[in-house]
Amino acid sequence: MAFKLMRAAIAVAALTVATGASAQECIAPANPGGGWDFTCRQVGKTMQDLGLIDSTMQVVNLAGGGGGVAFAEVVNKRNDDDNLIVAASSATATRLAQGAYPGNSMDQVRWVGSIGADYGVIAVAADSDIQTLPELLDKIKADPNSVSVAGGSAVGGWDHLKVLIAADAYGIDDVRKVKYIAFDGGGEAVTQLLAGSVQAFTGDLSEAKGFVDSGDIRVIAVLAPERLDGEFSEFPTAKEQGVDAIGANWRGFYAPGGMSDEAYQMWVDKVGQLYASDEWKQVMAANGLAPLDLQGAEFESFVQNSVQQIQDISRQIGIIK
Amino acid sequence: MDTLMSLADGFHTALTFENLLLALLGTFLGTMMGALPGLGPSNGVAILIPLAFTLGLGATPSLILLTSVYYGAMYGGRISSILLNIPGDEPAMMTCLDGYPMAKKGLAGEALSLSGIASFVGAFIATWGLILLAPQLVKFALLFGPAEYFALFALAFATLGGVSSTNQAKSAFAAMLGLGLSVIGVDTQTGVPRLTFGEVHLYDGLDFLVAIVGLFALSEVFIFLEHRHGSATGAGHKVSVGRITPPWKMVKETTPTMLRSSLLGFVAGVLPGAGASLGSFISYSMEKKLVDRKNTFGTGDPRGVAAPEAGNNAAAGGALVPMLALGVPGSGTTAVLLAVLLSLNITPGPLLFQNNPDVVWGLIAALFIANFMLLAMNIPMVGIFTRVLMIPPRILMPIVAMVSFVGIYGISGSSFDLLVMIGFGVMGWLLRKLDVPLVPIILGTLLGNTMENNLRRAVTISNGDYWTLVGSPLAIGLWTVAIVGFILPLFLSRFVKARMHERRDDEGAISD
Which residue from B348, B361, B368 is spatially nearest to B138, judged by alpha carbons?
Answer: B348
- What gap in Å lies between CA B263 and CA B444, rounded to an integer? 24
Q: In this predicted structure, what is the pLDDT of residue B232?
A: 45
Three-state DSSP state, A149: strand
A12 with B29: Cβ contact below 8 A: yes
Tell me the average pLDDT across B194-202: 83
* pLDDT tens for each residue of A152-171: 888 888 899 999 989 988 98
Tell me the average pLDDT across B441-463: 88
Q: In this predicted structure, what is the pLDDT of residue B509?
A: 39
Task: Using the predicted structure, report yes or no on whether residue B505 has a pLDDT greater than 60.
Answer: no
Which residue from B39, B40, B44, B43 is spatially nearest to B26, judged by alpha carbons?
Answer: B44
**Out of A155, A157, A210, closest to residue B349 by CB:** A210
* pLDDT tens for each residue of B89-147: 778 888 988 998 998 888 888 899 999 999 999 999 999 998 888 777 778 888 888 99
A1 with B384: Cβ contact below 8 A: yes
- What gap in Å lies between CA A108 and CA A258, rounded to an integer? 9
Between A35-50 and A278-287, two packed helices, what is the crossing angle to 10 degrees?
A: 150
**Out of A5, A100, A195, closest to residue B144 by CB:** A195
What DSSP character marks residue A57?
P
3-state helix, strand, coil in chain B (%, to 5): 80, 0, 20
B461 with A179: Cβ contact below 8 A: yes
* Counts of helices then strands in chain B (DSSP H, E): 21, 2
- What gap in Å lies between CA A308 and CA A314, rounded to an integer? 10
The domain limits of chain B are 2-471, 472-512
- CA B137 to chain A, closest CA, distance in angstroms equals 13
Task: Using the predicted structure, report yes or no on whether residue B205 has a pLDDT greater than 90.
Answer: no
In the chain, the amino acid numbered B452 is: E
A195 with B145: Cβ contact below 8 A: yes
Q: Hey, which of A99-103, B221-225, B305-309 has the most confident mean pLDDT?
A: B305-309
More confident residue, B38 or A125: A125
Q: Enumerate residues 290 to 319 of chain A having a beta carbon within 8 A of any beta carbon in chain B.
A: 319
| DSSP-assigned beta bridge partners for residue A250 | A117
Phi, psi torsion values for B187, nearest 5 degrees: -80, 115
The domain limits of chain A are 14-118+249-316, 119-241
Testing the interface with A: which of B152, B192, B204, B206 to mutate, by most A Cβ within 10 A?
B204
Task: Using the predicted structure, report yes or no on whether residue B503 has a pLDDT greater than 60.
Answer: no
Tell me the average pLDDT across B482-508: 62
| DSSP-assigned beta bridge partners for residue A253 | A87, A113
Between B219-226 and B415-433, two packed helices, what is the crossing angle to 10 degrees?
A: 60
More confident residue, B119 or B197: B119
| Residue B161 pLDDT level (bands cut at 50, 70, 90) | low
**Is the Cβ of A18 closer than 8 Å to some Cβ of chain B?**
no
- CA A80 to chain B, closest CA, distance in angstroms equals 18
Residue of chain B with shortest Cα separation from A213:
B351
* Homologous superfamily assigned to A119-241: Periplasmic binding protein-like II (3.40.190.10)
Specify whether the CB–CB gap between A21 and A80 falls below 8 A: no
- CA A175 to chain B, closest CA, distance in angstroms equals 15
- How many Å separate Cα B30 from the centre of its chain? 15
**Out of A13, A68, A155, closest to residue B191 by CB:** A155
Question: Which residues in chain A have their CB less than 8 angstroms from residue B348's CB?
Answer: 210
Task: Using the predicted structure, report yes or no on whether residue B410 has a pLDDT greater than 80.
Answer: no
Which residue from A31, A43, A158 is spatially nearest to A92, judged by alpha carbons?
Answer: A158
Q: In this predicted structure, what is the pLDDT of residue A16?
A: 43
| DSSP-assigned beta bridge partners for residue A120 | A204
**Out of B186, B322, B336, closest to residue A154 by CB:** B186
- Do the first three CATH levels of A14-118+249-316 and A119-241 match, i.e. the same topology? yes
Phi, psi torsion values for B413, nearest 5 degrees: 60, 25
* Homologous superfamily assigned to A14-118+249-316: Bordetella uptake gene, domain 1 (3.40.190.150)
Task: Using the predicted structure, report yes or no on whether residue B234 has a pLDDT greater than 60.
Answer: no
A145 with B460: Cβ contact below 8 A: no
Residue of chain B with shortest Cα separation from A49:
B56
Residues in CB range of A217: below 8 A, 6 or more apart: A123, A124, A125, A126, A190, A193, A194, A201, A208, A211
B412 with A12: Cβ contact below 8 A: no
Q: Hey, which of A261-270, B236-245, B497-506 has the most confident mean pLDDT?
A: A261-270
Residues of chain A with pLDDT under 50: 1-21
- Phi-psi region at A295: left, alpha or beta (left = phi > 0; alpha = psi -120 to 50): beta
Lowest mean per-residue pLDDT among B40-44, B126-130, B312-316: B40-44
More confident residue, A44 or B289: A44
Note the helical H segments in B55-167: 59-84, 93-102, 108-141, 146-158
Q: What is the ipTM of this complex?
A: 0.80
Three-state DSSP state, B416: helix
* pLDDT tens for each residue of B262-278: 999 998 888 876 667 78
Q: In this predicted structure, what is the pLDDT of residue A112?
A: 96
Note the helical H segments in B142-291: 146-158, 168-182, 208-212, 219-226, 248-270, 276-291
- Phi-psi region at B36: left, alpha or beta (left = phi > 0; alpha = psi -120 to 50): beta
Residues in CB range of B223: below 8 A, 6 or more apart: B429, B432
Side-chain-facing half-sphere of B99: CA atoms under 13 Å = 32
B329 with A185: Cβ contact below 8 A: yes
Question: Which residues in chain B have their CB less than 8 angstroms from residue A33's CB?
Answer: 42, 329, 332, 335-336, 338-339
Specify whether the CB–CB gap between B162 and B295 falls below 8 A: no
Tell me the average pLDDT across B35-45: 79
> Terminus-to-terminus CA distance in chain A, angstroms?
61
| DSSP-assigned beta bridge partners for residue A182 | A151
Residue of chain A with shortest Cα separation from B192:
A155
- What gap in Å lies between CA A111 and CA A86, rounded to an integer? 10
| Residue B501 pLDDT level (bands cut at 50, 70, 90) | low
**Out of B35, B203, B328, closest to residue A187 by CB:** B328
Three-state DSSP state, B309: helix
| DSSP-assigned beta bridge partners for residue A26 | A59, A85
